[in-house]
Amino acid sequence: MKRIELDIVALSHSMTQSHNYAVVLGERRGQRRLPIVIGSFEAQAIAVAMERMVPNRPLTHDLFKSTLDTFGIQLKEVVINNLLDGIFYARLVCMKNGELYEIDSRTSDAIAMAVRFECPIYTYDFILEAAGVVLEDQDEEGGGAVGTAKMPANLDSDALETYSIDALHRRLQEVLDAEDYETAAKIRDELKRREAKD
């Protein structure tokens, strides 16, 4: 079965399901895109890794990466290997002492781990045929380029607490440049709350 390498090309609000996000994967040598609906926590986990933000305390996916690193287990690749009743299935392909192991995973978790390990993401042609979309008005430079993930706009105070002060200041400037004043207000409030504690 032919495998196709994918890149993350976008992370945005889902057009079909409110309160959810979509991670859009694009085939590296082609114009098909694979949108996958994920929750806000999963979107945050992917965005944090893509933007190289450092939370005050490790998020679940950071903890899992540290655990694998500690025990000498490498994540070699992620494979989105099936699509049943609209649900994507994935596997983590890991290596330890020269032996390969495959671990079942939710697709959103697998993508979050792939970003942290900087490993390739693959799928099969039948999945792209069934659930992929083709972008017709895409310029040639756009194929396979990794898009910039944004911190989810509907962050609550609990989510903001996981970010370091430096990361919050960087994101504040970015959202102000993008004129996203709602997110900027939330980040500003979190920074003020921390300053009041000092």
Last residue of a domain, one of 132, 152, 172: 152
Q: What is the dihedral of CA 132, 138, 144, 145, to 10 degrees?
A: -130
Q: How far apart are CA 102 and CA 113, in angstroms?
A: 14
Task: Write the pLDDT tens digit of every residue in 132-191.
Answer: 888 655 444 444 333 434 444 445 555 666 667 777 777 777 766 766 666 777 787 778
Both 85 and 125 in one domain: the answer is yes
Strand partners of residue 32: 134
pLDDT digits over 51-76, tens only? 888 778 888 999 999 999 999 999 99
Domain residue limits at 143: 3-152
In this structure, the answer to whether residues 42 and 16 fall within a common structural domain is yes
Q: Do 84 and 100 lie in a common domain?
A: yes
Domain count, the chain: 2
In the structure, what pLDDT confidence band is assigned to residue 97 with cuts at 50, 70 and 90?
A: very high
53 and 123 together in one domain? yes
Task: Identify the pLDDT of residue 168.
Answer: 77
Q: Determine if residue 21 is left, alpha or beta; phi over 0 gives left, psi from -120 to 50 gives alpha, anything else beta.
A: beta
Joined together, the tokens standing for residue 29 give 């040598």
Instruction: Note whether 198 and 111 are same-domain residues.
Output: no
Q: Check whether residue 45 and residue 106 sit in a common domain.
A: yes
Alpha helices in the chain (DSSP H): 40-50, 60-70, 107-117, 125-131, 157-160, 165-177, 181-197
Provide the residue type at 126 as one letter. Answer: F
Phi-psi region of 118 (alpha: psi -120 to 50; beta: other; left: phi over 0): left
Half-sphere exposure of 5 (CA within 13 A, CB side): 10
- Identify the pLDDT of residue 69: 96
Same domain, 140 and 197: no
d(CA 116, CA 101): 19
pLDDT at 43 over 80: yes
**The pLDDT of residue 13 is above 80:** no
Local confidence band at 81 (pLDDT 50, 70, 90 cut-offs): very high
**125 shares its domain with 83:** yes
> At how many degrees (to 10) do helices 60-70 and 40-50 cross?
60
Residues 69 and 43 in one domain: yes
Q: Do 108 and 26 reside in the same domain of the chain?
A: yes
Same domain, 112 and 183: no
Instruction: Classify the C-alpha dihedral 160-161-163-168 as positive or negative.
Output: positive
Distance of CA 159 to the CA centre of its chain: 16
What percent of the chain has a predicted confidence (pLDDT) above 90? 41
What's the pTM value of the predicted model, to 2 decimals? 0.69
Q: SS3 of 77, please? A: strand
Average pLDDT over the chain, rounded to whole?
82
Between 112 and 154, residue with greater pLDDT: 112
pLDDT higher than threshold 50 for residue 42: yes
Q: How confident is the model at residue 16 (pLDDT cuts 50, 70, 90)?
A: low
Residue 167's SS3 state is helix
Q: What pLDDT is attached to residue 139?
A: 46
One domain, residues 186 and 130:
no
- The residue out of 114, 132, 152 marking a domain boundary is 152
CA–CA separation, 189 and 99 (whole Å)? 49
Q: The CATH number of the domain where 88 resides is what?
A: 3.10.690.10
